[in-house]
Amino acid sequence: MPNPNTFANNPLDRASEKRTDPDWLAAQIKAPSTLIVPFWDLKPMILPPAEKGGAREVGWLRPGALEGLASRKAVTVFLGQEHGEKGDTSFFAVDLDLGRDPEREGPLAGFGKFHDLRAAAMSLPATEAAIMAQAKSMIDWHKRHGFCAVCGAGTEIEEGGYKRQCPSCGAEHFPRTDPVVISLVVSGDKCLMGRGPQWPKGMFSALAGFLEPGETVEEAVAREIMEETAVKVGRVDYQFSQPWPFPSSLMMGCIAELADGASMETKVDGIEIAEARWFAKGDIRAALAGGEVTDENGPFMVSPPLAIAHQLLKVWVGA
Ligand SMILES: [Zn+2]
């Protein structure tokens, strides 16, 4: 089964073996065929639909179009290559760092808009959303990791953006990905979901939490479910994952079974989870179609298709 998640299925060849060749990278960033996505305030430039109701696209620029928009020290990340019949195309992301709002002044004014990726992802082609997830997480990491975690000195970008090197103590720093487990708990034709205290009333999603050091995916699922709902899970089946570039998570989607003989009674902590409920398969099927559904405990909604929780529910109901 292909991965159904938004931000998955990045089509680029990351060509990691090329990252250690600064001359090759310098030539690629100037090559006429190269495409560069500008980011501003952690938002990619996105073009309006060519026709009303049409799909939006990323505002890829050719080298040269960035003149005056980014400094020589601007964070620049090599995203990878596409291999076509007419040759290879290299893709980069650049953080516009000259302080001016490029939507209002300069050569990009009136050309495209810088959109929050979470809001824009579903209106982009799936492949472009995936590339933007890579670009956003990388630029975000650079912006927050300018100094060495060992000695505090300013660090320098290397390897096409995939390493920061400390010139003072020699430490190497690499982009991080933070694993998060997210799991439905199921028992027969019922599944357990929770609602965060800040969420809209009636909105329920799969239970989630960060993996801790020294923990397996299965252990993290069992611990999170126990902490948040006091429900004991047995077998945990991994389904698929989703890059979640806000800023750098990897959501690891699972379906967990209620432990043999365990109680379905829930007790929420009131901090991470305000409410936990069991839902029937038929009601979930109706809720996946969108909008509010009412069961014996009241109205509820499920996460939108952007969320891995939505995709886990689809697996469970067989949709
Ligand atoms: Zn250092």
The answer to whether 204 and 192 have CB atoms below 8 angstroms apart is no
Indicate left, alpha or beta for 12 from its phi (over 0: left) and psi (-120 to 50: alpha): beta
Query: Residue 48 above 90 pLDDT?
Result: no
What separation in Å is there between the alpha carbon of 69 and the centre of ligand 1? 30
Phi, psi of 121 (to 5 degrees): -55, -45
Query: Residue 112 above 90 pLDDT?
Result: no
Quote the mean pLDDT of the chain. Answer: 95
Domains and CATH numbers, the chain: 16-144 (3.90.79), 147-175 (no CATH), 178-317 (3.90.79.10)
pLDDT in tens, 285-312: 999 998 899 999 999 999 999 999 999 9
- Confidence band (pLDDT; 50, 70, 90) for 245? very high
Amino acid at site 28: Q
Residue 252 to residue 263: CA distance in whole angstroms: 25
The answer to whether 293 and 283 have CB atoms below 8 angstroms apart is yes
Tokens 């043999």 locate to 260
Q: What's the sign of the alpha-carbon dihedral 261, 236, 298, 230?
A: positive
Q: Which of 61-70, 72-81, 228-237, 280-289 has the lowest mean pLDDT?
A: 61-70
Angle between helices 281-288 and 308-317 (to 10 degrees): 130
pTM value is 0.94
What separation in Å is there between the alpha carbon of 178 and the centre of ligand 1? 23
What separation in Å is there between the alpha carbon of 266 and the centre of ligand 1? 48
What separation in Å is there between the alpha carbon of 277 and the centre of ligand 1? 49
What separation in Å is there between the alpha carbon of 77 and the centre of ligand 1? 22
Selection from 78, 92, 96 nearest residue 42 by Cα: 96
3-state secondary structure of 294: strand
What separation in Å is there between the alpha carbon of 64 and the centre of ligand 1? 34
What separation in Å is there between the alpha carbon of 79 and the centre of ligand 1? 26
Residue 30 has a pLDDT of 94
3-state secondary structure of 142: helix
What separation in Å is there between the alpha carbon of 275 and the centre of ligand 1? 45
Query: Residue 24 above 80 pLDDT?
Result: yes
What separation in Å is there between the alpha carbon of 166 and the centre of ligand 1? 5
- Confidence band (pLDDT; 50, 70, 90) for 72? confident
What separation in Å is there between the alpha carbon of 75 and the centre of ligand 1? 19
